[in-house]
A and B are shown apart, each in its own frame.
Chain A
Amino acid sequence: MRVPLNWLGDFVELDGSPDELAELLTNAGLEVKAIDRLGVAGAELPWPADLVIAAKILRVDPVPDADRLVLATVDYGADSTRQVVTGAPNLFPHLGKDLGDADLWGALLLAGASYRNPYRDLKITRLKPKKLRGITSDAMLCSAVELGLGEDHEGIILFEPAAELPELRPGRPLTEVLGDVVLDIDVIPNIARCASILGVAREVAALTEAAFRPPAVPLTMDGPPVAGRVEIATENPELNPRFVGLLIEGIEQRPSPYWMQHRLQLAGQRPIGNVVDISNYVMLEVGQPNHTFDYDLLRQRADGYADGGPVQIVTRLARDGERLTTLDGAERKLRPNQMLVTDPAGALSVGGVMGGRNSEIGEETRNVLLEAAAWAPGSIRRAQRQLGVHTEAGFRFSRGVHPSQALLGARRAAELLRLHAGGTIAEGIVDHYPQPAPDVTVDFDLGYLRRLSGLDLGAEETAALLRRLDFEAEPADGTDKLSVTVPDHRLDIEGPHDLIEEVCRIYGYDRIPSTVLSDVLPPQRGNREQSFENRVKDTFADLGLQEIVSYRLTTPEAEAKLQLEEAEPPSYIRLANPSTLDRVVMRRSLLASVLEAAASNSRFEDRLALFEVGRVFPVNERDSLPEERQRAALALTGPRRGDHWQAHADPNDCFDFFDVKGVVETLLDRLGLTVEFGEPEAHSAATVFCPGRTATVLLAGDPEPVGALGEVHPTVAASFDIEPAAGQPVLAAELELDRILERIPDSLQVEPVPVYPEVREDLALIVGEATPAATVEAALLAAGKPLLCAVELFDVFRGETIGDGSKSLAYHLTFRAPNRTLRDRDVKKLRRRILGQAEQAVGARLRE
């Protein structure tokens, strides 16, 4: 809502600077998004007081040998008049006339001042004297665009004295006449009453305690009575509680007076002609949208259905299959929940949203029926959404315009039509008001106010604050209560909590004290899930991985890249109204997110180590809401070490299977969990990995894997467009974090530091190639217990000396007894037992 301060000043005394006013309004919930200055100090194009001035046009003469130029003689307050050459087409009608009595004024800009040059992309240009057809020209009469006031460059600004303009005198600085400051106010839903100059003025009056000057709305009705010519009825008073009609006859269509055009322009509306401009002007000024029908067209229709009887306006819900071509030219299929203004011949307009072509004001229109009605907000909102039209009228009605405003708006619009379109108002207002809005009275418990606001205000003080907003507020005798009556322009007050906001707003949020929470501290529980999740993220970051966060919206196709073979896509939570084609379903895989990030970074990075912790959304067959599962995924590829000038690039020193496994091992160990790695079942979900280079992650005692890791199949990596250097694999893992977190022990148990020394022995065993290292290790531990306390693999060797189909595994064995120092022969004996059992269990023999 753009609010020109001169217009606002019609209804409230403005003290203080525009900046102060803007701050006051902003703090009270009418956020001023921008302050536009036009002509005045601080404007982008200021009008110097001595160089841009009001000038009275005295006469207009032809310029010899120049058909397209005229010479205007102006009085600009100097001792003598001045002649200005101009090509303005709107001066040509005055050619050769003495305009002394016409009281026609222009905006004169003298050399030295700057203007927006329409011939140089509106660049701000300083006016220099020049010669035009032999006449020295060192001044110009300006168009709106040249002064930065609007888009109009069809002619120069021509204006007449008017009550809405400051007094004109030749040479008066133009800033005082047409200069203005416009506040651009963000109208949030609960202050829809401020979507008007009048509404903002009320608010300013309440905030500054300046006097509010409600508009006087005189109405001169001296035409033949409307009675018997127009009748109004409604079938749905709950959706259309009031309909005010006025008949104005004999209007003349012409441009509206300059002051009105000027105000509309400042408020962001393009002037069109007096009838439309007046309708817009009244909507902006009092907040009451209104509509004009061509009365003669209605009359013709009535002759068809009433045979000389009155025009019968009926508001009702649309009928099945009913259609209407609206003012924008679109033929609209109407729905049975939309309110229409109709007559017995059919639909005339979509009530409160948009008028119809069939009764539109045309160039020939002389007689108009003016409508100012009240419509139910929900119904207007629905109609706007269904029809896909959002009009200024609809904006206001959908947020609520009080029915009391309809009469005000109708009177104001009719009188302006009389004054500025030369019409005669037919005697009588047709005011169909079947459902008068009830007075709203609220019992306002001041204890509630104190309890919620933290303010200790007395009854009289509170009542005074409310009265500033036109509430009637009376302390109820002997109680801690106020009886508050809501003013008849407000629809937003439903209960005492709404009044608390009004009291706080007018009192000033900034004056309310700040206190430290002293209320009961609730039981503190922490958030176990979150603290473990933080530990997971910290561990990954400590291990050199970078956290990423991806869109949780994706496409089934993007996730299908994880599958080597085409498979039936799983079901997804799917958007009904996606905004882009690549974000249509909620993701089911975190691995796909991480691989996508690896791909986008692989264009400019060799070494990638990424992880993400986040939700996936598998469909829950029994509910419209998905399960939300917490996952962690990571991807590694490229050189294992960072670049350094001393390190010689070694293509073999790149991330491999054991790096990703090491990350997962470290993570789970740090979470206090014992983990095992298994071979995935054939055709399991782990097909994203190379066969034989992948493992499932198992927690002790749970046969269901909590994750999988491995070397991403090159075909999958390629389908994600990850292009690592030749021979460098992409490693990845995905873990079901929520299942892992459930298993994390609550506390760490510390082992005592050993008292007796340990004995370390090395042992190299030759086993079959197919024997897993984990099996060998388990056999060693089983054989050596309880004195064998640690087994650490330090070498894997294959070669001629070992023989084909075999491998050598070399271990550090650590022996320790809890209660004595082990002797050599203890260890020798144990070593023999271990060897013997290892041979039995896994066919191992000692490598000599």
Chain B
Amino acid sequence: MIDQLDDIEARVSAALAQAADPEQLEEWRRATIGRKGEVQLLTRRMGEIEPADRPAFGKRINEIKTSLQAAFEARQEALKRSVHETDGDTDRIDVTLPGRRPVLGSLHPSTLVMRRIERIFGDMGFQTYRSPDVVTDQLNFGDLNMPPDHPARDMQDTFYTTDPSAVLRTHTSGGQILAMRERHPEPIRVILPGMCYRNEQITARSEIQFHQIEGLAVGPAITFADLKGTLTEFARRLFGEGRGARFRASYFPFTEPSAEMDIACLLCDGQGCQLCKETGWLEILGCGMVHPTVLQNGGYDPDEWSGFAFGMGPERIAMLRHGIRDIRYFWSNDLRFLRQFQRFV
């Protein structure tokens, strides 16, 4: 009887290998290791066995059951896998078809660049301070050490309103005066973003309105060296590690000493190209130590206080960083331009 068990195992195992789909496999299970299956029923024949052989017989049956159960499960797994592997032709998808993408909105490049700049200065303790677009002639020029007939007024073409005392601000610098008057006698670190206006021809390189970000630091011991350090750090964070920066003397009526900060050309890295007009440098911002007259106009005694100020154009910076050739794109509101800033980094 025990000898027969080997034959049964061999036959049943062979039948398992024939089961080609889940239905046949289930049929096999019922016929063999199921509750009323052939193998289960073998235990009932224990009575036909010599009592001395019974323990060996029982043990052998259990072995067979265990091994068949394992084989069954393995076969079941294999069949499941093969369904995914071979029977999938009808369910197969062309994974190269486009995915379904939600429509995204995005921010205007000026907003994106200004946020980036404000964040960098925010980390250094510069708070945003906003001031009006339409200001008095006195605030835009007079308080900034530019009395009427001052030659520096030639540097900016001003939009005057029909009321001669009111102008569209040509720079955010007037905000310095407002910030000083409001914050006095605290030390100051502020960033003044805002729209500015100049009466110019609208061309690829010049616009009648543009943003400016002004910065102002006033304190008891602020030096030109601090100005250099702060702005060099800014350039490092905005344009990346190792981007060369230089300061050269310049002129603004409201700062002295005055400087321009250039960075090594982003395109040619200082070798000289069309973008940097062969100089190797790109002008990024104007800056300087706050002129004593301006400090005084803001309510700070120049014998006790000093400060630095700087101003830059976020649109110009965006143009340099993103290879934008035409400043007119910024207010054209053309979606084919604006949408590209979904990928702003």
Partner of B330, one of A378, A453, A549: A549
Asked whether B259 is an interface residue with its Cβ less than 8 Å from the other chain, the reply is yes
Which partner residue on chain B sits nearest A534 by CB separation? B115
Partner of A624, one of B107, B108, B161: B161
Asked whether A500 is an interface residue with its Cβ less than 8 Å from the other chain, the reply is yes
CA distance A541 to B338 in the complex (A): 12
CA distance A605 to B330 in the complex (A): 19
Write out the residue numbers on chain B whose beta carbons fall within 8 Å of the beta carbon of A596. 333
Write out the residue numbers on chain A whose beta carbons fall within 8 Å of the beta carbon of B221. 451, 518-519
By the criterion CB–CB under 8 Å, are B133 and A500 in contact? no
Using known A-B contacts A552-B133, A579-B199, A600-B333, determine if residue A513 contacts B125 with beta carbons closer than 8 Å: no
- In the complex, which residues 74-126 of chain B have their Cβ closer than 8 Å to any Cβ of chain A? 97-98, 100-108, 110-111, 115, 124-125
Partner of A607, one of B103, B110, B129: B103
By the criterion CB–CB under 8 Å, are A512 and B224 in contact? yes
Number of residues in A with C-beta < 8 Å to the partner? Answer: 99
Asked whether B162 is an interface residue with its Cβ less than 8 Å from the other chain, the reply is yes
Write out the residue numbers on chain B whose beta carbons fall within 8 Å of the beta carbon of A608. 335
Write out the residue numbers on chain A whose beta carbons fall within 8 Å of the beta carbon of B127. 522, 524-527
Contact digits for A773-794, partner B, Cβ 8 Å, 1 yes 0 no: 0000000000000000000000
CA distance A611 to B250 in the complex (A): 40
Write out the residue numbers on chain A whose beta carbons fall within 8 Å of the beta carbon of B124. 517
Interface with B: A186-194, A221-229, A469-477, A755-763, which one? A186-194
Partner of B259, one of A509, A576, A601: A509
Partner of A27, one of B225, B232, B248: B248
Write out the residue numbers on chain A whose beta carbons fall within 8 Å of the beta carbon of B69. none
Write out the residue numbers on chain B whose beta carbons fall within 8 Å of the beta carbon of A516. 226, 229-230, 233
- B210 CB, nearest partner CB in chain A, Å: 11
Write out the residue numbers on chain A whose beta carbons fall within 8 Å of the beta carbon of B253. 189
Write out the residue numbers on chain B whose beta carbons fall within 8 Å of the beta carbon of A189. 151-152, 154-155, 251, 253
By the criterion CB–CB under 8 Å, are A617 and B134 in contact? yes
Write out the residue numbers on chain A whose beta carbons fall within 8 Å of the beta carbon of B132. 625, 628
By the criterion CB–CB under 8 Å, are B98 and A644 in contact? yes
Interface with A: B3-11, B25-33, B35-43, B187-195, which one? B187-195
Write out the residue numbers on chain B whose beta carbons fall within 8 Å of the beta carbon of A552. 133, 195, 197, 209
Which partner residue on chain B sits nearest A504 by CB separation? B257
Partner of B226, one of A504, A519, A522, A626: A519
Partner of B133, one of A188, A583, A617: A617
Asked whether B159 is an interface residue with its Cβ less than 8 Å from the other chain, the reply is yes
Q: Which of B151, B152, B195, B334 has the most CB of A within 10 A?
A: B151
By the criterion CB–CB under 8 Å, are B225 and A544 in contact? no
Q: Which of B136, B160, B188, B289 has the most CB of A within 10 A?
A: B289
By the criterion CB–CB under 8 Å, are B105 and A541 in contact? yes
- A755 CB, nearest partner CB in chain B, Å: 36
Interface with A: B16-24, B45-53, B58-66, B200-208, which one? B200-208
Write out the residue numbers on chain B whose beta carbons fall within 8 Å of the beta carbon of A529. 130
By the criterion CB–CB under 8 Å, are B225 and A644 in contact? no
By the criterion CB–CB under 8 Å, are B161 and A575 in contact? yes
Partner of B249, one of A28, A33, A545: A28
Asked whether B320 is an interface residue with its Cβ less than 8 Å from the other chain, the reply is no
- B260 CB, nearest partner CB in chain A, Å: 8
- In the complex, which residues 598-644 of chain A have their Cβ closer than 8 Å to any Cβ of chain B? 600-601, 604-605, 607-611, 615, 617, 624-626, 628, 641-642, 644
Write out the residue numbers on chain A whose beta carbons fall within 8 Å of the beta carbon of B278. 34
- A353 CB, nearest partner CB in chain B, Å: 15
By the criterion CB–CB under 8 Å, are B125 and A524 in contact? yes
Write out the residue numbers on chain A whose beta carbons fall within 8 Å of the beta carbon of B306. 451-452
Asked whether B277 is an interface residue with its Cβ less than 8 Å from the other chain, the reply is yes
By the criterion CB–CB under 8 Å, are A624 and B98 in contact? no
By the criterion CB–CB under 8 Å, are B224 and A546 in contact? no
Interface residues on B, range: 35 or more
Asked whether A540 is an interface residue with its Cβ less than 8 Å from the other chain, the reply is yes
- B182 CB, nearest partner CB in chain A, Å: 11
Which partner residue on chain B sits nearest A502 by CB separation? B257
By the criterion CB–CB under 8 Å, are A519 and B166 in contact? no
Which partner residue on chain B sits nearest A611 by CB separation? B105
CA distance A509 to B220 in the complex (A): 22
Asked whether A119 is an interface residue with its Cβ less than 8 Å from the other chain, the reply is no
Using known A-B contacts A600-B334, A644-B100, determine if residue A549 contacts B110 with beta carbons closer than 8 Å: yes
Partner of B277, one of A27, A34, A378, A455: A34
- B94 CB, nearest partner CB in chain A, Å: 11
Using known A-B contacts A515-B223, A527-B129, A628-B133, determine if residue A577 contacts B199 with beta carbons closer than 8 Å: yes
Partner of B161, one of A191, A505, A547, A576: A576
Asked whether B292 is an interface residue with its Cβ less than 8 Å from the other chain, the reply is yes
By the criterion CB–CB under 8 Å, are A645 and B128 in contact? no
- A584 CB, nearest partner CB in chain B, Å: 10
- A150 CB, nearest partner CB in chain B, Å: 23
Write out the residue numbers on chain A whose beta carbons fall within 8 Å of the beta carbon of B232. 514
- B93 CB, nearest partner CB in chain A, Å: 11
- B191 CB, nearest partner CB in chain A, Å: 9
By the criterion CB–CB under 8 Å, are B103 and A190 in contact? no
By the criterion CB–CB under 8 Å, are A509 and B128 in contact? no
Using known A-B contacts A34-B277, A541-B107, determine if residue A514 contacts B100 with beta carbons closer than 8 Å: no
Contact digits for B287-331, partner A, Cβ 8 Å, 1 yes 0 no: 001011000000000000010000000000000000000000011
Which partner residue on chain A sits nearest B112 by CB separation? A547
By the criterion CB–CB under 8 Å, are A547 and B133 in contact? no
Partner of B105, one of A398, A518, A546, A549: A546
- A608 CB, nearest partner CB in chain B, Å: 8
Q: Which of B129, B130, B134, B229 has the most CB of A within 10 A?
A: B134
By the criterion CB–CB under 8 Å, are B187 and A576 in contact? no
Asked whether B339 is an interface residue with its Cβ less than 8 Å from the other chain, the reply is yes
- A800 CB, nearest partner CB in chain B, Å: 38
By the criterion CB–CB under 8 Å, are A515 and B225 in contact? yes
Using known A-B contacts A522-B183, A530-B128, A545-B105, determine if residue A574 contacts B162 with beta carbons closer than 8 Å: yes
CA distance A27 to B289 in the complex (A): 17
Write out the residue numbers on chain B whose beta carbons fall within 8 Å of the beta carbon of A419. none
Using known A-B contacts A519-B221, A607-B103, determine if residue A398 contacts B151 with beta carbons closer than 8 Å: yes
CA distance A625 to B250 in the complex (A): 32
- A391 CB, nearest partner CB in chain B, Å: 14
Using known A-B contacts A27-B246, A573-B166, determine if residue A517 contacts B229 with beta carbons closer than 8 Å: yes
Contact digits for A444-477, partner B, Cβ 8 Å, 1 yes 0 no: 0000000111110000000000000000000000
CA distance A188 to B253 in the complex (A): 11
CA distance A167 to B254 in the complex (A): 50
By the criterion CB–CB under 8 Å, are B103 and A513 in contact? no
Write out the residue numbers on chain A whose beta carbons fall within 8 Å of the beta carbon of B331. 549-551
By the criterion CB–CB under 8 Å, are A547 and B111 in contact? yes
Which partner residue on chain B sits nearest A376 by CB separation? B149
By the criterion CB–CB under 8 Å, are A548 and B338 in contact? yes
Write out the residue numbers on chain A whose beta carbons fall within 8 Å of the beta carbon of B163. 624
Asked whether A586 is an interface residue with its Cβ less than 8 Å from the other chain, the reply is yes
Write out the residue numbers on chain B whose beta carbons fall within 8 Å of the beta carbon of A684. none
Using known A-B contacts A26-B248, A548-B338, determine if residue A642 contacts B101 with beta carbons closer than 8 Å: yes
Write out the residue numbers on chain A whose beta carbons fall within 8 Å of the beta carbon of B189. 517, 521-522
- In the complex, which residues 20-55 of chain A have their Cβ closer than 8 Å to any Cβ of chain B? 26-29, 31, 33-34
- B283 CB, nearest partner CB in chain A, Å: 9
Contact digits for A740-761, partner B, Cβ 8 Å, 1 yes 0 no: 0000000000000000000000
By the criterion CB–CB under 8 Å, are B226 and A454 in contact? yes
Asked whether A726 is an interface residue with its Cβ less than 8 Å from the other chain, the reply is no
Write out the residue numbers on chain A whose beta carbons fall within 8 Å of the beta carbon of B279. 26
Asked whether A537 is an interface residue with its Cβ less than 8 Å from the other chain, the reply is yes
Asked whether B228 is an interface residue with its Cβ less than 8 Å from the other chain, the reply is yes
Asked whether A153 is an interface residue with its Cβ less than 8 Å from the other chain, the reply is no
Asked whether B217 is an interface residue with its Cβ less than 8 Å from the other chain, the reply is yes
Partner of A510, one of B219, B247, B336: B247
Write out the residue numbers on chain B whose beta carbons fall within 8 Å of the beta carbon of A34. 277-278
- New A-B contacts (13) at CB < 8 Å, excluding given A509-B247, A544-B102, A624-B161: A29-B248, A381-B149, A454-B223, A509-B249, A513-B229, A514-B228, A522-B219, A544-B105, A550-B333, A578-B159, A579-B202, A607-B103, A624-B163
